[in-house]
Each structure stands twice: as C-alpha cells, then as structure tokens.
C-alpha cells in the first residue's frame, strides 16, 4: 500500500513507528513551531509551568507579534512585550518585531525557515498555509505550542486525504483565491473535517507560489487538518531564492511525493478553464458564487492584504486595476502588505503610490482588520469586500456588519465602483 505526501511526512517524523494508517495516533518530531502575539503568551505561561530552562531548539521556535503591532492599546502592547521578553530570555533566534516583521504565514516562508518535507505546527489555524511548499503544516492550540517549544514534539492523528485535481488554465483575473473558494463552496466548511487536502493537476503549473500559499491557507476553511502541494520547479526556485537572501540555519531538504498507489478517501476533479472570479457572501467562506451573481451589493470598505492575499503579486494585481482610477467617495480602501520585504517591493515598483493616488491608505505589515484587530474595523451595518480568509459574523467588527471574500482584483474594482464588481466593469 502506497502513502500520500502527508502520510509520508508524518511517518518520517513519527517516533517509533514503522508504518501508519489514517486514524493512527502518533508522537511526531517537530521541525518548526510558530506562535504570535495572541497565542504565544498563553503558551509561554504553560511553558514556564514545565520548569524548562531552555527551548528544544533556539533556531526552530519562531515568534511573530503580527496581530496587533503597532500596538493599538495597552493590552496589545503587553501581549507583544511578553513575546519579546521570552525571546530575549531564551535566546530565540527567529523573533521578528516591528520593522522587520510581517504576517507570520508570509514571513516564515519568505525567510526560508520552512522547507519541503518539514513538519511544522503553529498556534494559529492558518499555519496550513505552509503546505504550499510541500511540507506538513497545521494549526494547534497554545498548550500544544508550549509542549513543542519544550520537547520538540507533538501528537497527531494521521488524517485521511482528499485529492483535489485541477485541470485547465485559469482565465485572466482568476487565481488561487478563486480556486480555493470554489473548492470550499463544493465541500462546505466541514466537508474536509480533519482531513488533508492535497492539491494537484495540470493547473498547478500555471500558479505562482503566492497563489499556492493562498490555496493552502484556506484549507482550514473546509475543516481540513492541512493543505499540501507537491514541491516542483516553482517551489524550488522560491526556496533557493529565500535561502540565498536570508541564509537560514537549515538549507537541506528532501522533496516528498505521493505514491502512485496512495489511497485517498475521495478524489475531486475541477476544470477551471471557464471559472470566473469567486466571491463568498456572508457569513461563511463556503458561500462562494461567481462575481457576476452579485448585483448592486454596495460596500463601505475594501481590504487588500492578510496572510491570504497580501503578497507582492496580490498588490501588483490590485494596482493594475486601480492605476489612473479613484476609489469611490463612499468607500475606504485599506491596503496592508504582508511583510516588510513586500512593503519595500510595493514602494519600489510604484504600487504603493498607485494605491495612495487612488485614495486608499497603505498600512504597515500586520493582520490588521482580518480578525477584528485594528486598522479597518467595521461598524454596525457596514459592508466590506476583503481578500482575507474568513467572513464569520463579527469577524471584522460589529456583529451586524458583513464581509464578502474575494481576490485582490475584485476588491480593487469594487473599491472603485462602490459595489462588488469585476475589473471589466470599469
């Protein structure tokens, strides 16, 4: 019996196991563990209760205070300080603060810290983003993070795998966000509960790493344990570039591929050649429909950014729509690059100026309004179109506000039009 890519990675990290099957509980060695300013303070408190004098590996723990920095109030400032003090006390090498930080799920791969074949956990549900590099990455709780920081291990149940096969070349303005929203609309928000989503097919070769990160990022929105894509030439070019630039402590990796006789719990086929951009209506990411289905949906705010769509190709796409145009007078446009490197590139390439000249605001890297944090909270009755990953009730502010999820081109066009729109509508 063959193994899927997820099963192979878990087996290679399992302590004392020579074979595994879905449903098995395993203790697994962790290559990297990740925490932020919401989840890490709890983990640090639990870590201290263990009485440990050091973390399992000072280079394998990553701490990024990305949700509320620059601090919006005293409470958020204190959360960030807990991370900073812990990082200094325990010699955490990969601690990234204001000035060099970014949204954790964009920053970690950008720095070359996660590699194909790795097993990574993070105290954040969107840790599954990193599966785009051919690694097993999943979100866990703060107590799991505490244990992993102390012992370099975690426990896992081996998930079944659903194979998602894409065929066809995506049309203009259609990218990874549209593909994953289409999948989630088909599966529902619990259709892949505690399963692995393995994305494959001829379409993958047309997708940039940014698109792939977006797809794996939102695997959790279908209930999945992880999303994963086999590493290919595009992946390796991305990794080699990151290693050359940032020279991380680990450089060696092994590409893992699924066996031809691997067993899947389900196989789903999607031909995307005729797929239009997809917009998910409130209040679930599974409420996805073609953008053309939305008529006269007026908006008060457009948000471009987050760990889902805050990378440079996302900003480039939005800037292409906004160039020489003005944001509707009734709309606030908030643009948040995912990392300092992306911020710098956006300035250098002129995208930042396009956003500002159009009437938008260009903010420092942060999760910002995605989780109802800051820099774009909605009031009662307001409507936003956003490139973020969740549109639950009250996710971006008031419980009686509404969020529509879309790709950067749709968000930009909607900001100009004052209602949900396709770039061709301009």
Q: Contact at 8 Å (CB) between 215 and 199?
A: yes
Peptide bond into 70 cis (omega under 30): yes
The dihedrals phi and psi of 31, each to the nearest 5 degrees, come to: -85, -30
Q: Is 280 exposed, middle or buried (0-12, 13-18, 19+ CB in 10 A)?
A: buried
Q: Give CA separation, 220 vs 75, 92, 106, 184, 264, in Å.
A: 28, 28, 17, 10, 18
Per-residue confidence (pLDDT) for residue 100, from 0 to 100: 86
Strand extents, DSSP E, 150-306: 153-157, 160-167, 195-200, 226-229, 266-271, 278-280, 288-290, 301-305
Angstrom distance (rounded) from CA 93 to CA 72: 26
Residue-range domains of the chain with CATH: 5-269 (3.30.499.10), 279-420 (3.30.499.10)
Per-residue confidence (pLDDT) for residue 98, from 0 to 100: 82
Q: Contact at 8 Å (CB) between 258 and 2?
A: yes
Angstrom distance (rounded) from CA 26 to CA 367: 33
Mean pLDDT, each 10-residue run in order, the chain (426 residues)? 96 96 98 96 97 97 93 92 97 92 95 98 97 98 97 97 98 97 97 97 98 98 98 97 94 95 97 97 97 97 97 98 98 97 97 97 92 93 97 96 98 98 95
Per-residue confidence (pLDDT) for residue 72, from 0 to 100: 87
Question: How close are the terminal C-alpha atoms of the chain, in Å?
Answer: 54
How would you list the strands of the sheet with 301-305, edge to edge? Answer: 288-290, 278-280, 402-405, 383-386, 301-305, 332-336, 361-362
């Amino acid at each position: 019996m063959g193994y899927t890519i997820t099963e192979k990675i878990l087996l290679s990290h399992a302590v004392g196991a020579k074979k595994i099957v879905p449903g098995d509980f395993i203790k697994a060695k962790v290559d990297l563990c990740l925490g932020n300013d919401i989840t890490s303070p709890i983990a640090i408190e639990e870590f201290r209760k263990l009485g440990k004098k050091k973390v399992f590996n000072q280079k394998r723990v990553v701490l990024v205070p990305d949700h509320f920095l620059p601090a919006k109030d005293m409470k958020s400032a204190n959360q960030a300080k807990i991370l900073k003090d812990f990082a200094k006390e325990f010699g955490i090498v990969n601690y990234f603060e204001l000035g060099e930080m970014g949204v954790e799920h964009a920053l970690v791969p950008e720095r070359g810290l996660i590699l194909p074949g790795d097993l990574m956990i993070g105290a954040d549900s969107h840790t599954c983003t990193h599966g785009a590099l051919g690694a097993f990455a999943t979100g866990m709780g703060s107590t799991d993070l505490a244990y992993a920081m102390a012992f370099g291990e975690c426990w896992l149940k081996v998930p079944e795998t659903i194979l998602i096969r894409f065929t066809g070349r995506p049309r203009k303005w259609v990218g990874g966000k549209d593909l994953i929203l289409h999948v989630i609309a088909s599966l529902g928000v619990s259709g892949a509960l505690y399963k692995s989503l393995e994305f494959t097919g001829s379409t993958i070769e047309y997708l940039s790493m940014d698109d792939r990160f977006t797809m794996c990022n939102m695997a959790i929105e279908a209930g999945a344990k992880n999303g994963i894509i086999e590493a290919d030439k595009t992946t390796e070019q991305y990794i080699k570039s990151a290693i050359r630039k940032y020279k991380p402590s680990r450089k060696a990796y092994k590409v893992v591929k699924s066996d031809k006789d691997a067993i899947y719990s389900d196989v789903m086929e999607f031909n995307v050649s005729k797929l239009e951009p997809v917009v998910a209506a409130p209040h679930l990411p599974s409420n996805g429909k073609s953008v053309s289905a939305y008529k006269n949906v007026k908006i008060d705010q457009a948000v471009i950014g987050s760990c889902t769509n805050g990378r440079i190709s996302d900003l480039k796409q939005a800037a292409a729509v906004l160039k020489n145009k003005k944001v509707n007078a009734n709309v606030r446009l908030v643009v948040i690059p995912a990392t300092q490197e992306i911020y710098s590139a956006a300035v250098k390439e002129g995208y930042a100026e396009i956003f500002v000249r159009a009437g938008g605001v260009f903010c420092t890297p942060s999760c910002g309004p995605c989780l109802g944090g800051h820099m774009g909270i909605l009031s009662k009755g307001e409507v936003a179109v956003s490139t973020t990953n969740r549109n639950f009730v009250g996710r971006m502010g008031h419980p009686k506000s509404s969020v529509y999820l879309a790709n950067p081109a749709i968000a930009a066009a909607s900001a100009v039009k004052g209602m949900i729109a396709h770039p061709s509508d301009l």
